[in-house]
Every structure is written in C-alpha cells, then in structure tokens.
Structure 1
Amino acid sequence: MFSVRERDAIQQRLLDLADADPVVVGAAITGSNATNCADRWSDVDLAFGVAGPLDVTMHRWTERLYQDFGAVHHWDLPSGATTYRVFLLPGCLEVDIAFTPEADFGPLGPSWHTVFGHAANPQAVPPPSRDHLAGMAWHHALHAWVSIQRCRWWQAEYWISALRGHILALASLRLGHPTNYAKGAHLLPTDVTAPLEAALVRTLTPTELHRAWAAATDALTAELALSDLALADRLRSVLADLD
C-alpha cells in the first residue's frame, strides 16, 4: 500500500510536469486533497486545462504514466467535454486526471484548488432529484423481484444491493448530504441505516432473497414517507402485490 509521503510526492511530480507542459494551460487539485479532507487512503485527483486536441495530450500523458510512474492499468470516464482518465499505480495508488478543453477548465463544485492557470467560474452541479432516485429505486425493486421469480439469484442480489444504494441516496438528499457513491452514508443517523442492515443478502436462496427484498422495499417506503407520503403510499400499495 502506498504511503502518504509517496502519494504526495507523486502528486507534486505530476503538477511539476504539467507546469512544464506547454499545452497544459491550467492545473488544479480536486477531490479531498483540495479541501484538506484527505486521509491515509485518499488518492490523487487532478484536473488539467488543455490547449489543443485532448486525445493527443491524453495519449502523451498516458505513455508517461506507464513509463515514468509504472502504471498498471487505466480506464476513461467521459463527462461532457472532460475525460477523466483513471490510472492504477504500484502500491494501489489511484491517480485520476481530468483532461478538459481550455475553455471549460474550472470547478464543478467546492473540491477544487487552482494550482496555475485561469479557471472559469464555478458551475454548480445540482444533486439528483427525489423523483429520479425514487424512480430508480422502484425500478430496482421490481427487477429484483422478477429476478427471484426467474431463479436468477445473482441478478436478484445485484438489484437488491442497488436498491439499498438508492435508499441511502434518498436519505442523504433529504438530510443535505452527498448522494453519489454513498459518500454521505456515514453521516446518516442510525435509525435510517439500521433497517437497511436487514436488506443485506446473506445467502443466495429464494427464501433469503425474498426476505432481503421485503426488508429493502419496506425501507424504501419508510424513507419516502418522510418526504412524500402520498408517493410512499402509492408505491407500498403496488409493491404489496408482489409480496
């Protein structure tokens, strides 16, 4: 496992290389390191503003990450005009570099610290709506039940787990915490999270999957009742037909 000293040294080395790269016109530290919230296990998150074609710059930087930093693998996460290239380095250090056209270089939230260059005004990214999260939740509940009927045990477990994640997101949205990737789950009160423990699938048997599914749907309607009682009642009535 990488050490904090190794991680910080790699981050600084990458920033120095960016500063020396004529097509990288801006660089920023993002993620937990930008807000002094990093801990022992935090990864490296950087954003580069690029003048010229992104693919050319990304290819060149990717070669450098492999040759000079010993990268093991990488993959891409496109988002609008930006491509997040995610690298795995030795010691299980994750390095995320957002390659963005110069005109779009700027923060999408508070986790941003400009190192050099001119960053555009912050663009607030709104959280998902309650209706969207509720819709995804009942969708997952329905597909979990169907998977059980089809004797597709692993698929059923997948949908039940996904349903739990959306219930956590609904609770986080209601209480003003981050909704993505369960980043606000540890901030939720016990009375919200405790019922979800019963929705954990312990074995891949029909009886256990039915039990976990019922616990998850109960938790879903209980959570929705705190923000939209009418919707909770409608969903409870529909889901009861499947019980």
Structure 2
Amino acid sequence: MFSVEERDLIRQRLLHLAEHDPAVLAAAVTGSHATDDEDRWSDVDLAFAVSDPLDAVMHRWTQQMYRDFAAVHHWDLPSGSVIYRVFLLPHCLEVDLAFSPEADFGPRGPSWRLMFGQSAPSQPVMSSDHDAIAGLAWHHALHGRISIERGRYWQAEHWISAMRTQTIALACQRLGHATSYAKGAHLLPTNITAPLETTLVRSLDEAELRRALSAAVGALATELTRTDAALADRLRPVLIELAAGT
C-alpha cells in the first residue's frame, strides 16, 4: 500500500503541475484533506477549473498521469458539467481529478480548499431525494424476490444487498449523515445497524436467500416507518407480499 509521504508528495506534484498549466485557471483540494479529516488511507482529491475544452485538457493530463505517475487504469464519473477522472496508481493509491468549466468551478460542499485562482460562490448541496432512495429500495426488494423465483441466485444476492444499501441511505438521510457509498453508515447507532446484520446473505442456498430477503424487507419497513410513516403505510401491503413465502 502507498505511504502517507508518497501520497502527499504526489498531491504536491499535481498541484505544482496545475499551477504551471496555462489551461488550469484555478485549483482546489477536496475530500478529507480539505477538512483536516485525512487519515492513513485517504486518497488524493483535486478539482481544476479549465479554460480549454475539457476533452483536450483531460486527454493531456491523462497522458501525463500514465507517463509521470505510472497510472494503472482510469475511469470517468460525470456530474453535471464536471467530469471526475478517477486514476489508480501503483501501491493502490487513488487520485480523483475533477475537471470543470471555469464558470462552474466552485465548492459543492464543505470539503473544499482553494489553492489558487478564483472559484464561484458555494452552491447549495442538494440532499439525496427521499422518494428516490425509497423507490430504489422497494425496486430492489421486488427484483430480489423475482430473481429467487427465477432461480437466479447470484442476481438475488445482488438485489438483496442493494436493498440493504438503500435502507442504510434512508437512515443516514434521516439522521443528517452522508448517504452515498455508505459514507455515513459508521455513524449510525447500533439499534439501526444490528438488525441489518441479519440481512447479510450467508450462502446462495434458496432458503437462505429467502430468509435474507425477508430480513431485508423487515429492516426496510422499520426504517420507512421512522422516516415517512405515510409512505410506510402505503408500501406495507406490497412489502408483506414480497416477503410472503420467504
């Protein structure tokens, strides 16, 4: 694994390159380093405001990441006008570079530290939509049950685990924690997380999948009651039906 010293040196080198790149008008450190929450395992997160077309700048930076930093692989995560290019470097170091048009360059949350240049005013952070999270949860429950009935047991495991993820997101949203990628899961109290342990799929045996699905549906119903009692009442007959026969 990478060392802290190696990670910090790479971040400094990247900022130095950005400051001397005419196409990069501004740069910011994002992620845990920006809020002084960085630990031994944190990755490198940087955001750039660029003047040239994003494609051209990203192509040039990508070549440099492979040439000078021995990148192993990369992929893109678009978010509005911003494109996050995610690189894997040797020794398991992840480097996330966000490329943004100058007009859209600015903080989208508290994890932001401007290093040079100017940024737009802070944009309000939109919390994940409750109906969308709840909708994904019942969608995954439905497809978990259908996958079991079809004998597609690996697919069933996927949907049951995905439903648990949405139940965790609902709990995190209710308590004001981050909802994406289970970033707030470690902050949830034991009375929420302990019942979720029963939703873990222990094997691909059909009986076990039905048991895990029933537990996951129960955990979802409990969380929906806490977050939106009216919605929980409307969904209850459907959830009972999905758990029936499990």
Give the TM-score, by structure 2 length: 0.97
Residue 16 of structure 1 corresponds to 16
**SS of equivalent to 1:210:** helix
Q: Which amino acid aligns with 2:66?
A: Y
**Shift in Å at residue 130 of structure 1?**
1.7
Residue 168 of structure 2 corresponds to 168
**Alpha-carbon contact 2:221-2:239 (below 8 Å) kept:** no
Structure 1 segment 72-151 matched on structure 2, within 5 A: 72-151=72-151
Alpha-carbon separation, structure 1, partners of 2:189 and 2:177: 12
**SS of equivalent to 2:29:** strand
Structure 1 segment 58-77 matched on structure 2, within 5 A: 58-77=58-77
Alpha-carbon separation, structure 2, partners of 1:53 and 1:230: 48
Matched, 1:233 2:239: no
User: Alpha-carbon deviations, 1:32-77, whole Å to 9, x = none?
Assistant: 0100001000000000000111111111111111111111111111
**Alpha-carbon contact 2:84-2:97 (below 8 Å) kept:** yes
Structure 1, unmatched stretches of 5+, are none
**Alpha-carbon contact 1:86-1:97 (below 8 Å) kept:** yes
User: Alpha-carbon deviations, 1:55-108, whole Å to 9, x = none?
Assistant: 111111111111111111111111111111111101100000001111111111
**Shift in Å at residue 183 of structure 1?**
0.5
Alpha-carbon separation, structure 2, partners of 1:130 and 1:66: 40
User: Alpha-carbon deviations, 1:109-137, whole Å to 9, x = none?
Assistant: 11000000100001122111222111111
**Shift in Å at residue 142 of structure 1?**
0.4
Q: Which amino acid aligns with 1:68?
A: D
**SS of equivalent to 1:28:** strand
Q: Which amino acid aligns with 2:39?
A: D
**Alpha-carbon contact 1:221-1:233 (below 8 Å) kept:** no
Q: Which amino acid aligns with 2:96?
A: D
The structure 1 segments of at least 4 consecutive aligned residues displaced by more than 3 Å after TM superposition are: none
Alpha-carbon separation, structure 2, partners of 1:190 and 1:128: 23
Give the TM-score, by structure 1 length: 0.98
Residue 32 of structure 2 corresponds to 32
**SS of equivalent to 2:26:** strand
Alpha-carbon separation, structure 2, partners of 1:143 and 1:21: 49
**Alpha-carbon contact 1:7-1:93 (below 8 Å) kept:** yes
Aligned residues: 243
Alpha-carbon separation, structure 1, partners of 2:66 and 2:235: 51
**SS of equivalent to 2:39:** coil
Q: Percent identity among equivalent residues? A: 65
Alpha-carbon separation, structure 2, partners of 1:239 and 1:187: 27
Alpha-carbon separation, structure 2, partners of 1:166 and 1:67: 40
Alpha-carbon separation, structure 1, partners of 2:239 and 2:179: 25
**SS of equivalent to 1:198:** helix
Alpha-carbon separation, structure 2, partners of 1:31 and 1:171: 23
Residue 195 of structure 1 corresponds to 195
**Shift in Å at residue 236 of structure 1?**
2.1
**SS of equivalent to 2:203:** coil
Q: Which amino acid aligns with 2:117?
A: G
**SS of equivalent to 1:52:** coil
User: Alpha-carbon deviations, 1:159-216, whole Å to 9, x = none?
Assistant: 0000000000000011111111101000000000111100000000110000000000
Structure 2, unmatched stretches of 5+, are none
Q: Which amino acid aligns with 2:43?
A: D
**SS of equivalent to 2:227:** coil
